[in-house]
């Protein structure tokens, strides 16, 4: 089974960047794309930052994710440009809201997904230690790198199990789809968190 977007793949991670460089890129994108700092004076930087996640994902051989990101971002951007002034009322409100959220949040989300999927926990921990950060900061961030990929993997397994039981859109048990996915996922999240906490405590990281 292929690796998901948030599962670390050292063999196929494209450009080998220092975790600190990835964090700096993510922070810079959050400032200029999500925060829109600089306004119209620096608006030319926004398209460049929005292209970067696609480039990095392509170098990491995550072609489906990169193409999906390009299509969704392009569609939201073009819809905003061509239909933003031609609509009014609730349609204009929904269009601006959806397109604005996608255009601002999606690049940062993809950059974060690239960082998590191409950085091992040991690399991240070593990089943070070289910055002389406290263990109180390093340990929660390191746990995050293991938590989200594990949750995504559990969700994929739950989704496959529900499809086998015909609990899906268009299936006979459609009404149970939400409950039978969310409840096991929440249980798995609690269990994963407890296991990671126990692993940290056994290493004296209480």
Give CA–CA dist 149/86, Å, rounded.
42
pLDDT surpasses 80 at 10: no
End-to-end CA distance of the chain: 35
Confidence bin at 169 (pLDDT 50/70/90): low
pLDDT surpasses 80 at 80: no
- Please compute the mean of the pLDDT values over residues 165-176 and round it to a whole number: 64
Comparison of pLDDT for 115 and 36, the residue scoring more: 115
Give CA–CA dist 7/105, Å, rounded.
21
Contact assessment for residue 53 and residue 69, using Cβ atoms and an 8 Å cutoff: yes
pLDDT surpasses 60 at 193: yes
Tell me the per-residue pLDDT of 124-162, one tens digit each, with 9 for 90 and over. 888 888 888 887 777 777 777 777 777 888 888 888 888
Q: Which pLDDT score, from 0 to 100, does residue 19 have? A: 86
Tell me the per-residue pLDDT of 19-34, one tens digit each, with 9 for 90 and over. 888 888 888 888 888 7
Tell me the per-residue pLDDT of 92-130, one tens digit each, with 9 for 90 and over. 778 778 887 888 888 888 998 888 888 888 888 888 888
Query: What are the structure tokens assigned to 161, written together?
Result: 């199990």
Rg (CA), the chain: 20
Q: Which residue has the tokens 């460049």?
A: 48
Helices 135-164 and 89-117 sit at what angle, rounded to 10 degrees? 110
Q: From 71, 69, 79, select the one nearest 99 (Cα to Cα).
A: 79
């Amino acid at each position: 089974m292929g690796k998901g977007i948030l599962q670390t793949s050292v063999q196929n991670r494209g450009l080998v960047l220092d975790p600190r460089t990835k964090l700096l890129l993510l922070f810079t994108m959050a400032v200029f794309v999500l925060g829109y700092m600089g306004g119209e004076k620096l608006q030319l930087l926004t398209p460049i930052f929005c292209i970067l996640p696609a480039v990095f994902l392509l170098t990491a051989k995550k072609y489906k994710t990169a193409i999906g990101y390009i299509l969704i971002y392009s569609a939201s951007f073009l819809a905003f440009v061509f239909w933003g002034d031609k609509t009014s009322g609730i349609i204009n409100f929904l269009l601006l809201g959806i397109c604005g959220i996608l255009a601002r949040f999606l690049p940062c989300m993809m950059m974060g997904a690239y960082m998590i999927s191409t950085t091992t926990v040991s690399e991240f921990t070593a990089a943070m230690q070289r910055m002389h950060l406290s263990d109180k900061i390093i340990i929660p961030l390191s746990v995050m790198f293991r938590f989200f990929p594990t949750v995504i993997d559990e969700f994929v397994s739950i989704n496959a199990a529900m499809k086998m039981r015909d609990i899906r859109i268009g299936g006979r048990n459609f009404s149970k789809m939400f409950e039978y996915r969310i409840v096991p996922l929440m249980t798995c999240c609690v269990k994963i968190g407890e296991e990671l906490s126990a692993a940290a405590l056994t290493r004296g990281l209480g």
